[in-house]
Amino acid sequence: MEIVLKNLTKIFPSRNKKSNEEVVAVNNLDFTIPDGKLIGLLGPSGCGKSTTLYMISGLQKPSDGKIFFGSDDVTQMPSESRGVGLVFQNYALYPHLTVKQNILFPLQNLKGKDKLTKEQMLERSYDAAKLVQIDDLMDRKPSELSGGQQQRVAIARALVKMPRVLLLDEPLSNLDARLRLQTREEISRIQKETKITTVFVTHDQEEAMSISDMIVVMKSGVVQQIGKPQEVYDSPANLFVAKFLGTPPINVFDGRVEKGKVYIKDDAVMDVKGLADQEVIIGIRPEGFILDENGPLNCCLKAVEVMGRDVSIVSVNDASVNPTIRSIIDAEKKPDHDCVKVKFSIKRSKIFLFDKKSEKRIMVED
């Protein structure tokens, strides 16, 4: 089911009647979520991503704008008629019911022509449980399950009524690091098997990048960029997106364009054609550095961190906005420990220029 958001806006009224501080949680969202894809809503906390999810679920009413599921306008439709499955951050499994009863719960709500017989309900609940691989835990209580198992039960409960749209709110935030890796693959697998349009919310860019077909990066209620994860990473639309994606984060420098060259302090790191002379912000991905004795960029070496497969070089440059520069290079090419200065040349595809004021990307011709 394709989801279309049209000028979706959510304004929370101020809590205090005297002050008129309204909070615009979501501002004029306008995009389409294609059918059968896994979409990650990504942004720092307070960016409105969960509010967007809750508006799609129907638990919150938009202040303005419309939501379509396919051609149905569901904006005014109550939550239960939308056919959404929602998985909460804390799972919200009913603690007094067994796993089976939890999964059966949505089916027992069905009325009229949708009503199922007991056998059909059991069959559907076992199908859902098998899909998330918890069919051997059906008689346990949620408190007797691990976090990862609870998560699966929550997904099974959301899937059992065969929703048109599956929504996941921070699905992995309550799991430990190993389980998180495992569960995100699981979510990706379940989504591919069921082909249900799935939207999930996360503040973890790695999580979003790794399993999403498409990511929507948000900040302060406004969409910053929409696209395939790799595309967004390779070509960020602005400084915020560039900073938000990637671990270690992108290195940011104050620099300038002068006579067709990009300078960091006095080092000309890149040639550009057809750009007027101006102050710019320069972003260089950690993997964009090449250790090169004849390279243009001079930095003071602080530390070399060996991480097995590759080496992380921590260095300092006065023009860097962050206190240190982090670059990742092959383990075989690491510098001598004793040296004080390091020189880098920069991969052209890993360096981005941003406007000093608007922080928007300045596109450079190759």
Partner 1 sequence: MAELVESKRPWKAWIYLSPAIFLLLIFTVWPIINTVRMAFLESYSGLKAAGGQTFRIGIGNFQKVLKYQKFLSCLKNTFILCILTVPISTILALLIAVALNSIKFMQKTLQTIFFLPYVTNSIAIGMVFAAMFNMVGSFFGTPNEIVVTAGIINNLLEFFGGTAVNWINYGSSYAANITVMVIYIVWNALPFKILILLGGLQSINKQYYDAARVDGTSRKRIFTKITVPLLSPIIAYVVITGFIGGFKEYTSIVGIFGASMGPADNAGRLNTMVGFIYDALSSNSQGRASAAALILFSIILVVTLINLQVSKKRVHY
Number of H helices, E strands in the chain: 9, 21
Size of the site for partner 1 (CB under 8 A): 23
Please tell me whether residue 85 binds partner 1 under the rule CB under 8 A. Answer: yes
DSSP 14-41: PSSSSS---EEEEEEEEEEE-TT-EEEE
Site for partner 1 in 275-304 (CB under 8 A): none
Question: CA quadruple 119, 125, 129, 135: dihedral positive or negative?
Answer: negative
Minimum distance from CB of 102 to partner 1 (Å)? 10
Query: Long-range CB contacts (< 8 A, 24+ apart) of 357-366?
Result: 358/238, 359/238, 359/239, 359/240, 359/281, 360/237, 360/238, 360/239, 361/235, 361/236, 361/237, 361/238, 361/239, 361/242, 362/275, 362/280, 364/270, 364/272, 364/275, 365/272, 365/273, 365/274
Closer by beta carbon to partner 1, 165 or else 281: 165
Whether residue 92 contacts residue 80, with contact meaning beta carbons closer than 8 Å, is answered with: no
Nearer to partner 1, 168 or 262 (CB): 168
Residue 161 or 361: which CB sits closer to partner 1? 161
Please name which of 331, 296, 295, 294 lies closest in space to residue 313, comparing C-alpha atoms. 331
- Cα dihedral 218/222/227/229 (nearest 10): -10
Q: Tokens 């005014």 — which residue?
A: 76
Task: State which of residues 59, 122, 268, 272 lies at the interface with partner 1 (CB under 8 A).
Answer: 59
Query: What residues from 62 to 81 belong to the interface with partner 1 (CB under 8 A)?
Result: 79-81
Nearest to 320 by CA among 365, 265, 257: 265
The nearest distance, CB 22 to partner 1, in angstroms, is: 19
CA distance 312 to 248: 10
**Does residue 58 belong to the site contacting partner 1 (CB under 8 A)?**
yes
**Per CB under 8 A, which of residues 4..33 are in contact with partner 1?**
none
CB of 141 to partner 1, least distance (A): 9
- For the CB of residue 36, give the shortest distance to partner 1 in the complex, in Å: 21
15: buried, middle or exposed (CB in 10 Å: 19+, 13-18, 0-12)?
exposed
Q: Which of 61, 96, 130, 341 binds partner 1 (CB under 8 A)?
A: 96
Shortest distance, CB of residue 143 to partner 1, whole angstroms? 10
Tokens at residue 328, please? 């990742």
Residue-wise DSSP of 238-299: BHHHHHHSSSSPPEEEEEEEETTEEEETTEEEEE-SS--SEEEEEEE-GGGEEE-TT-SEEE
CB of 81 to partner 1, least distance (A): 7
Q: Does 142 help bind partner 1 (rule: CB under 8 A)?
A: no
Among 32, 90, 120, 182, binds partner 1 (CB under 8 A): 90
Q: How far is the CB of 106 from partner 1 (least distance, A)?
A: 4
Pick from 12, 68, 105, 126 the residue near partner 1 by CB under 8 A. 105
**Region near partner 1 per CB under 8 A, out of 107-115, 196-204, 262-270, 320-328:** 107-115
The CB-of-207 to partner 1 minimum distance in angstroms stands at: 21
- State the helix-helix crossing angle for 118-131 and 177-194, rounded to 10 degrees: 130
Among 53, 67, 86, 242, interactor with partner 1 by CB under 8 A: 86
Which range in 45-53, 89-97, 184-192, 330-338 contacts partner 1 by CB under 8 A?
89-97
Q: What's the farthest any 2 CA atoms get from each other in the chain?
A: 78
The verdict on 162 binding partner 1 (CB under 8 A) reads no
Rank residues 79 and 133 by Cβ distance to partner 1 and give the closer one: 79
Task: In angstroms, give the least distance from the CB of 79 to partner 1.
Answer: 5
Among 110, 303, 306, 331, binds partner 1 (CB under 8 A): 110
348 binds partner 1 (CB under 8 A): no
Per CB under 8 A, residues contacting partner 1 are: 57-59, 79-81, 84-86, 88, 90, 92, 94-97, 105-106, 108-110, 157, 161
